[in-house]
Amino acid sequence: MKLLLHTCCAPCSVYCIDSLRGENIEPTVYWFNPTIHPYMEYKQRRDCLKEYTKNIGVEAIFEENYGLVDFCKNTIGSLETRCQDYCYPVRLEQTAKYAKENGYDCFSTTLLVSPYQKHEVLIQVAEDMAKKYGVEFLYRDFRVGFRDGQAKARELGLYMQKYCGCVFSEEERYAKQIERDTIGIIENNQ
């Protein structure tokens, strides 16, 4: 089976690749993430994945598209639903399209490992793209291995990002800290 595995970062790929290899499926990693910002975060995740795939002997394809302008244009009207309306579709459509055009039997994504993603929405978007491009979507519920994969990534010294990818997810990650800081500033100014 020739599998194209959309990959958001090295830590999320650890369990997915190990699990697939356990099934005798050798994935090809596919980096296409125009939803990760700012650029230094994008670069750090990409470069870590390049090094990791090289070290474990996995073929990897890196499609460069930082995509900040398109991301902003396509999410500004729907920040609350950006994942399902833009982030998942843009990445999974490109993955399905690339898989079809380059002779892969199927595609999947490491986004399925995260308990923080909208799992059912991801599945639906992937199935829609599979149908659109006539290539199979290989579903695996990788979430069972999320903690083990993260632990192994830490042991390997992989770059561990602090948020999903877009600047809005970074803001959500720090929401409580932002609130505390804001209250502290207000109190100090009174």
- Of 9-18, 121-130, 140-149, 169-178, give the lowest mean pLDDT range: 169-178
pLDDT computed for residue 184 by the predictor: 63
Residue 185 has pLDDT above 70, yes or no: no
Average pLDDT for the chain: 94
Q: Which residues pair with 106 in a beta bridge?
A: 3, 136
Q: What is the DSSP string of 7-43?
A: -S-HHHHHHHHHHHHHTT--EEEEE--TT--SHHHHH
- Dihedral, CA of residue 59, residue 50, residue 114 and residue 166, to nearest 10: -130
Q: What is the pLDDT of residues 70-127, one digit of tens each?
A: 999 999 988 899 999 999 999 999 999 999 999 999 999 999 999 999 999 999 999 9
- Residue 60 host element (H or E): strand 60-62
Q: What is the pLDDT of residues 130-162, one digit of tens each?
A: 999 999 999 999 999 999 999 999 999 999 998
Which pair of tokens denotes residue 32? Answer: 């296409």
Residue 183 has pLDDT above 80, yes or no: no
Collapsing DSSP to helix, strand or coil, 118 comes out as coil
Tokens 């579903």, residue located: 139
- Residues 2-10, mean pLDDT to the nearest whole number: 98
**Percent of the chain at pLDDT exceeding 70:** 95
Contact criterion met (CB below 8 Å) for 6 and 130 = no
